[in-house]
Homo-oligomer: A and B are copies of this chain.
Amino acid sequence: MPVQDLEYPKQPFSTVRRYDSRASYSLEQIHQIINTSLLVNVSFTVPDTPFPQTLPMIGQMGSFDRPSADTGDVLDLYLHGYVSSRVMNLSCKKDDEQKKQKTGGDNDDAPPPAASAAEYSQPGPTGLPVTIAASHVDGLVLSLTPNSHSYNYRSATLFGYATPVTDAAEKLWAMELVTNSVVRDRWRHTRVPPNGAEMQSTSILRVKIAAGSAKIRSGFPSDDKADAEDEALLGRVWTGVVPIHTVLGDPTPSPYNRVDPVPGYLGDYVKGTNKYAEETAQEQATKAMQPKGKADG
């Protein structure tokens, strides 16, 4: 654990504007949301279309240089996934050109760069600019009026620069990190290390993080005063939270499985994960938010 709770710097593109009382920039909170997500959504722009690409990938925060780093430390995001080298090269090139334009400063038509646009692009990050999003829905928040309905949720966004991991030692380390994030301790219970062809065919991206934010809502619904004092309404509309969590079911052996019963590390992981998920949803259902300025939405 770092000595103090580290926060990502607020950048124009990373600052939460709606319901900003729900915002957090804590590395610990953001990394925790990412690490407990089964999938993260990786978005980036591609040439010749106005639509960003979004790919679901498995991701995990980690530090190859300091593998014992804590969740709240400065970490990279390792993604198990593939982006075509064409897209990666074109997009990196485009990014370089944008930077050149911005520092050139002789293009009167271009909007003036935000104060920190130059700042975050220092000291010259390379790679594909990506936005990473992950969300847990912890509950349905049911109030007296549709407008005050909400979810309890924990969502995180990271912004960074992705490059393929080419160093063999780092790649192997990241493959183990990712595999063990799917089932704790799975790696050493499989046939490892991967052979040459497997190393070759596996694509791992490392994302150097430039900024990040989280947005968290917890607790019961809150209704406007006029509704909350309407006796007839209170007598008619159920209000509260339906907690939500993800459940790992009973491991179902493959037709060629010969290991029976289910190994301890796997059974324990299923039980532990389910217990944590259910408890989290219950806690979030009743945990009051920090006081905030606006009625709920």
Count A-side interface residues using an 8 Å CB cutoff: 108
Q: Name the distance in Å between A20's Cβ and chain B's nearest Cβ.
A: 13
Q: Are A249 and B278 in contact (CB under 8 A)?
A: yes
Q: Does A252 contact B (CB under 8 A)?
A: yes
Q: Does A147 contact B (CB under 8 A)?
A: yes
Q: Are A247 and B248 in contact (CB under 8 A)?
A: no
Q: How far is the CA of A198 from the CA of B226 in the complex (A)?
A: 13
A-B pairs, top 5 by smallest CB distance, nearest first, are A50-B129, A243-B249, A54-B133, A52-B52, A238-B259
Q: Which residue of B lies closest to A232 (CB)?
A: B191
Return chain B residues, CB-CB under 8 Å to A44: 52
Q: Which of A1-9, A21-29, A62-70, A134-142 is found at the contact surface with chain B? A: A134-142
Q: Name the distance in Å between A166's Cβ and chain B's nearest Cβ.
A: 18
Q: Does A220 contact B (CB under 8 A)?
A: yes
Q: Are A194 and B147 in contact (CB under 8 A)?
A: yes
Q: Are B242 and A245 in contact (CB under 8 A)?
A: no
Interface residues of A in 275-296 (CB under 8 A from B): 278, 281-282, 285-286
Q: Does A107 contact B (CB under 8 A)?
A: no
Q: How far is the CA of A250 from the CA of B241 in the complex (A)?
A: 9
Interface residues of A in 196-230 (CB under 8 A from B): 198, 201-202, 220-221, 223, 227-228, 230
Q: Are A237 and B18 in contact (CB under 8 A)?
A: no
Q: Which residue of B lies closest to A82 (CB)?
A: B18
Q: Are B131 and A52 in contact (CB under 8 A)?
A: yes
Q: Are B240 and A49 in contact (CB under 8 A)?
A: no
Q: Are A135 and B56 in contact (CB under 8 A)?
A: yes
Q: How far is the CA of A256 from the CA of B135 in the complex (A)?
A: 29
Q: Does A38 contact B (CB under 8 A)?
A: yes
Return chain B residues, CB-CB under 8 Å to A140: 182-183, 248
Q: How far is the CA of A254 from the CA of B240 in the complex (A)?
A: 4
Interface residues of A in 144-171 (CB under 8 A from B): 144-147, 149, 151, 153, 155, 157, 159
Q: Are A52 and B56 in contact (CB under 8 A)?
A: no
